[in-house]
Amino acid sequence: MDSMQGKRAVVTGAASGIGLAIAKALGHRGATVTLVDLDQARTDTAAASIPNAHAVACDVANEESVEKVFAFAGNADILVNCAGIAHVGNLQSTAASDFDRLYAVNVRGTYLAMRAALPGMLAQGGGVILNMASVAATRGISDRFAYSMTKGAVLSMTLSVAKDYVAQGIRCNCISPARVHTPFVDGFLRANYPGQEAEKMKGLAASQPIGRMGTPDEIAALAVFLCSPEAGFVTGCDYPIDGGFLNLR
C-alpha cells in the first residue's frame, strides 16, 4: 500500500471520474499528487479528499498553462494523462471545429504534458508516463470518428515515447478502457436521452461481454500498478481493460 511513498505524481483531468480515482489511489499509496483540471474550484474540492495533494487549474491545450503546472509541481516521477473530451459523430457529421477541439485537448494536451514532464524525468534519471487511450484506438466504433482519431494518436505517441526514452529510464504505457461508468456518462444520458436513462444504461452495460461498465476504481487499480516499481519491466504497452470488448465479442 505504500509503494508510491516519496513519489511525485501529476494527474491531468483529475477533478472527476477516472482521473480523480487515479489521483486518490496514488495519494493513498503515499505519493504526493498534483491534481490538474480546468476548473480551480472543482480541482480544489477533489484535492481536499486526498492526502498530500495539491490542485492546479490548467488548460492542457495551452502550452503556457501546462508549463506552469510543472513549474509548481517540480520534477515529476509520474505523469498520468487523463484529461480528455468526447464527441459523438461520424465523418459527415463532425464539423471541423469539433475535430479541432478534440485534437486540442486529447492529442495536443497529452503531448504538451509529456513534453513538459520530460526534462525533469531526464534530469533525475527516469520516470513513468501513463496515457489514457481507449478501445476506440484499435476498434472501429460507430459515431466516434474524431474521438477515435485522438485516441489512436495517444496510442501512437505512447509507443514512440517508450521507444525513444527507454534507455533514459522512462517507461511509457497507455490504458485502453471500454465504457466506464463516470459522471460524464450520467450527464450525457440526462442531456441526450431524458426519461430513457435506465434503458440506455442497460444498453451501455450490455456492450461489454462481461455485462456491465467498468468503474473508475478498476481503471485506477491498473493505473497504479503500471506506475509502480512492481511494473518496472513494463513499457511500450497498451493495456485494454474492457470487460472482454475487444476479444470476446
**What's the CA gap between 118 and 112, in Å, rounded?**
10
| Co-location of 153 and 136 in the same domain | yes
| Co-location of 137 and 190 in the same domain | no
Q: What is the pLDDT of residues 189-232, one digit of tens each?
A: 898 889 999 999 999 999 999 999 999 999 999 999 999 999 99
Question: Considering the entire predicted model, what is its pTM?
Answer: 0.96
Question: Which residues, at least 6 apart from 159, have a Cβ–Cβ distance to it below 8 Å?
Answer: 236, 238
Question: Which residues, at least 6 apart from 63, have a Cβ–Cβ distance to it below 8 Å?
Answer: 112
216, 17 contact by CB (below 8 A): yes
| Co-location of 56 and 172 in the same domain | yes
Task: Kindly state whether residue 186 falls inside one of the protein's structural domains.
Answer: yes
Q: What is the pLDDT of residues 132-188, one digit of tens each?
A: 999 999 999 999 999 999 999 999 999 999 999 999 999 999 999 999 999 889 988
Cell numbers found for residue 3: 509503494
Nearest to 31 by CA among 14, 54, 56: 54
| Co-location of 227 and 205 in the same domain | no
For the chain, the residue count is: 249
Task: Kindly state whether residue 208 falls inside one of the protein's structural domains.
Answer: yes
Nearest to 177 by CA among 216, 211, 234, 126: 216
How many domains does one find in the chain?
Answer: 2
| Co-location of 63 and 113 in the same domain | yes
Question: Would you name the residues annotated as active-site residues?
Answer: 147
Host domain of residue 195: 180-213
Task: Kindly state whether residue 249 falls inside one of the protein's structural domains.
Answer: no
| Co-location of 30 and 125 in the same domain | yes
Task: Kindly state whether residue 247 falls inside one of the protein's structural domains.
Answer: no
The CATH number of the domain where 60 resides is what?
A: 3.40.50.720
Question: Which residues, at least 6 apart from 26, have a Cβ–Cβ distance to it below 8 Å?
Answer: 4, 7, 9, 11, 33, 78, 80, 224, 227
**What's the CA gap between 47 and 162, in Å, rounded?**
30
**What's the CA gap between 192 and 244, in Å, rounded?**
27
| Co-location of 207 and 234 in the same domain | no
**What's the CA gap between 167 and 100, in Å, rounded?**
34
